[in-house]
Amino acid sequence: MIEEILSLVRKHEDWRVKDCLNLIPSENVMSPAVRSLLSSDLGHRYTSTDRFYMGTKFIDEIELYGEKLAKQVFDAETADLRPLSGHIANWIFLSTFANPKDKVLCVSADDGGYPGVWKEGLTSLLGHHVVGFPFSKTRMNIEATEAVELVLREKPRIVVFGASLFLFPHPVQEITRAASEVGATIGYDGSHVLGLIAGKTFQQPLKEGACILYGSTHKSFFGPQGGIIVADKQHGESLKKRLFPMFVDNAHWNRIAALTLALAEMKTYGQKYAEQVVRNAQTLAKALSDYGFPVMCPDDGFTQSHQVLLDYGGYKQGMKVARNLEKGNIIADCGVRLGTCEVTRRGMRKSEMEKIAEFIKRQLIDKDKGEKIKKEVIKFVRAFQRVEYCFMD
Ligand SMILES: Cc1ncc(COP(=O)(O)O)c(C=O)c1O
């Protein structure tokens, strides 16, 4: 039994780390130091806001240290590292600032918004009425002028920026005034772009008018899997009061220690990392477009984030493409989204992005012998096993 379990984990690690080109934009890799904290004793312990448990003096210090770093990294007045995931951070935000039957305005799942808040997700659970932003699929962005009119007409209780298919900064500043006028609370789900926001290479939602920025800590942000909320004082404090015991009991302190160290790495190396991530996405997009791939948004320079989107017209065709790529050990999703976070963290730059585009072309267009490409991909990946932009480099 033990052998079987360990062997499955080992097989996964050997395959995904040593043999695969990982291009899923919602994934990243932790540094060895951050990763090691996940197996520390903190993963056995409890502490909670009501001080029920003894033995927590160092855990309490870690929590404060993490919050302090998060406030610095995101220029925020409050920070909370306890949300267990980006989805849960969405739940905390939506349920705190809207009541059943209230309107929530966000990017529709059909336009690349997060399905977890759309009609079958949290807004349905919470009884909210969800409304989609006017959206341009050509520009992959919210139509700002129409959105302002919609906000004034519909008077949503909550406006949420951010998306899962996310290429360009959203027009937060343009919509904020109308949203405040109708009394909406403005949130920004930065799950995908959190590392780019931290690295000051994407928009700065809290400066542009959002009251709360929240999301996952493991997509473009290179921490452990989990969630975070940073906010202005007023909104951050009301969220903090509700977090325990409503949404989080044990906040998983090994994760929070690891996230604290990742925040320190982000503070030190974040800008260089984020700039390279975006440059790599732009290089990859351009090279794929030159090969004739249907890369979205050519007129806007393809992307300003970590994502490159290939438009195959839907999930079914996307699935075929992603499965075909997997045969060559190139791992993407059915979006088809390609992400440059992990390959950047492993030290890849311009020439490697061009090589990746060539692998993709040979696998999908030339229909080269799969086994040959796979062998070349493995050789290529094995030369980039280190993790950069971290203290243990
Ligand atoms: C925009 C957005 N928000 C939230 C989530 C959920 O994040 P998590 O997996 O951390 O719960 C996702 C998932 O990919 C997402 O794309």
Residue in 110, 83, 285 with CA at minimum distance from that of residue 190: 83
Q: At what angle do helices 233-242 and 86-97 cross, to 10 degrees?
A: 100
Best mutation site among 87, 107, 188 for ligand 1 pocket (most ligand atoms within 8 Å of CB): 87
Residue in 268, 388, 366, 336 with CA at minimum distance from that of residue 25: 336
Give the count of domains, the chain.
Answer: 2
Q: What confidence category does residue 392 fall into, taking pLDDT thresholds of 50, 70 and 90?
A: confident
Q: How far is CA 326 from CA 54, 104, 210, 285, in A?
A: 49, 37, 39, 19
- Same domain? For 244 and 274 the reply is no
- DSSP-assigned letter for residue 124: H
Predicted confidence at residue 48, as pLDDT, reads 84
List the structure tokens of 52: 């029920």
- Same domain? For 243 and 216 the reply is yes
Report d(CA 258, CA 31) in Å as an integer: 10
For the segment 22-33, what is each residue's pLDDT rounded down to a tens digit? 999 999 999 999
CA 269 remoteness from chain centre: 18
132 found inside a domain: yes
Q: Is the pLDDT of residue 367 over 90?
A: no
DSSP of 175-211: HHHHHHHTT-EEEEE-TTTHHHHHTTSS--HHHHT-S
Range of the domain at 66: 33-263
Q: How are strands ordered across the β-sheet holding 78-80?
A: 78-80, 227-231, 212-216, 185-189, 158-161, 103-106, 129-132
- Same domain? For 162 and 213 the reply is yes
**Residue with more model confidence, 50 or 227:** 227
Domain of 203: which CATH number? 3.40.640.10
The strand pairing partners of 22, in sequence order, are 331
Total Cβ atoms within 10 A of residue 234? 11
Q: 263, 287, 313 — which closes off a domain?
A: 263
Q: Is the pLDDT of residue 136 over 70?
A: yes
Give the length of the chain: 393
CA 5–ligand 1 middle distance (angstroms): 28
Average pLDDT over all residues of the chain: 97
Predicted confidence at residue 371, as pLDDT, reads 83
For the chain, percent of residues with pLDDT exceeding 70: 99
389 found inside a domain: no
Q: Is the pTM of this model over 0.95?
A: yes
- Same domain? For 107 and 207 the reply is yes
8 found inside a domain: no
> Taking CB atoms and a 6 Å cutoff, what residues make up the pocket around ligand 1?
26, 85-87, 90, 114, 116, 162-164, 189, 191-192, 215-216, 227
For the segment 265-291, what is each residue's pLDDT rounded down to a tens digit? 999 999 999 999 999 999 999 999 999
Predicted confidence at residue 106, as pLDDT, reads 98
Predicted confidence at residue 370, as pLDDT, reads 64
